[in-house]
Structure formats: structure tokens, C-alpha cells
Amino acid sequence: MPSVLELAARRRTVREFSGEGVSLGDVLKALDAARHAPSGANSQPWRFLIVTDPEVKARIRRAAEEGERRFYSRVSGGLREWLLSMGFGPEKPFLEEAPVLVLVFSKSGAPYSIQSTWLAVGYILLALEEAGLGTVTYTPSDPAAVAAAAGAPDDLILQVVLPVGRPAGEGRQRPRLGLDEVCRLNDWETPCAARGSGWPVGRG
């Protein structure tokens, strides 16, 4: 069984899906993992909507792409450059091509609702990876419009849409900063790895 580190290192964003179906059981298992995530005051503010109905998926895609077209008409600067370099545009075919969409909502007014919900999303990503499933953390430019297309109640805020399916190809591994670039030990000069990984911490 792969370790958490192995799953985290192996996972990559998937935007193209094979035509294969997925087991709803695997998706539910990932959401089961998510409900064990920590949350502010244990408020468990995450709510999930699984969508498999092609008509609902098409409605969600239409709402999402309308928002993206508005976004792309006004985006500028470094973000625009990055989006273009990645070949991104307002079309989001994965919203219909993926066999399953998982819409992740946070309950408005719950303590640390957004932070807690995104922690749960991290759990989902690793659990999907364990099941050999791919996804993209698609954050719509107009989340309220997508939530409305999904018929969501007013007290739920759409955080992310996770199209889930079998990856069509290998996907591309994105570069990561090294541990020494993102972690310091006790002060801001000492890289964490300077002591090696075997050093004892804490008492005794």
C-alpha cells in the first residue's frame, strides 16, 4: 500500500479523461476520507454533491464557461501569461467528459469554513489517487452561477468542482520547490534538511 508521501508525490492534475466509467464506491470512499478531516470547532462545514447525470453536467458546464468567458475577457498581467503558457481558455470540456463531478461546498457562517473545507479537499485528492482516479481542482470564475446551475441551497458556497475519472494519459509532473526552499528550522537561515532526517525532536 503506498504511503501518504508516495501518493502525494505521484498525484498530478488530470484534465483529460479516458472514456472509462468509475466505481461510485471509490468516489464515496474518497468522500468518506474527507469527512474525517479536522475542522474549525469540529463544524464539519463541507458538503458534497456528486453529479453523474449528463444533463446536469451540461448545465454546470454552460454556467461555468459563461463565467470563464467573462473572466478571460478581463484577466491581465502575470496570471494571463501563465494561463496562456498552460494553454488554458474558457472551454472546460472536462466538466462533461469526466464520468463524475464532485461539487464541494462550504457552509456559510461555520467557523473556519473555507479552510476546513479545503483541508477535506486535500484528503479527497489523495484518496482518489490511491484508487487510481484523477481529478482537477477546478475553481470556477463565477462559483455562484455554477452553484445555482447545480440547484445548491443558498447557505452553501461552492469552493471547487472535482471532475473525477480515469486519466487519459500520463499527465505532466509539475515542478516543486525543494524542502529546503520552503522550510527553515528555528530561524530563517537554517534549512530543515541541514540536520538530516534522523534528528530527534521534542523531549526525551
Ligand X SMILES: Cc1cc2nc3c(=O)[nH]c(=O)nc-3n(C[C@H](O)[C@H](O)[C@H](O)COP(=O)(O)O)c2cc1C
Binding test (CB under 6 A) with ligand X, winner from 7, 12, 50, 96: 12
Binding test (CB under 6 A) with ligand X, winner from 139, 180, 193, 195: 139
- Which is nearer to ligand X, 90 or 191 (by Cβ)? 90
Kindly indicate which of the ranges 11-19, 55-63, 75-83, 191-199 contains the residues binding ligand X, using the contact rule CB under 6 A: 11-19
Closest distance between ligand X and the C-beta of residue 129, in Å?
Answer: 11
What mask, x for binding ligand X by CB under 6 A, covers residues 151 to 180?
-----------------------x------
Side chain identity, residue 95? L
Rounded to a whole number of angstroms, the CA Rg of the chain reads 19
138 counts as binding ligand X under rule CB under 6 A:
yes
Q: How far is 160 from 138, CA to CA, in rounded Å?
A: 6
- Which is nearer to ligand X, 53 or 82 (by Cβ)? 82
Residue 54, number of CB atoms within 10 A of its CB: 10
Residues 14-43 that bind ligand X (CB under 6 A): 15
Q: How far is 100 from 24, CA to CA, in rounded Å?
A: 8
For the range 117-121, what are the long-range contacts, defined as Cβ-Cβ under 8 Å and sequence gap of 24 or more?
117/45, 117/46, 117/159, 118/159, 119/37, 119/38, 119/39, 120/34, 120/35, 120/37, 120/39, 120/46, 121/34, 121/159, 121/160, 121/162
Binding test (CB under 6 A) with ligand X, winner from 43, 137, 148, 192: 137
Q: Which residues bind ligand X (CB under 6 A)?
A: 12-13, 15, 136-139, 174
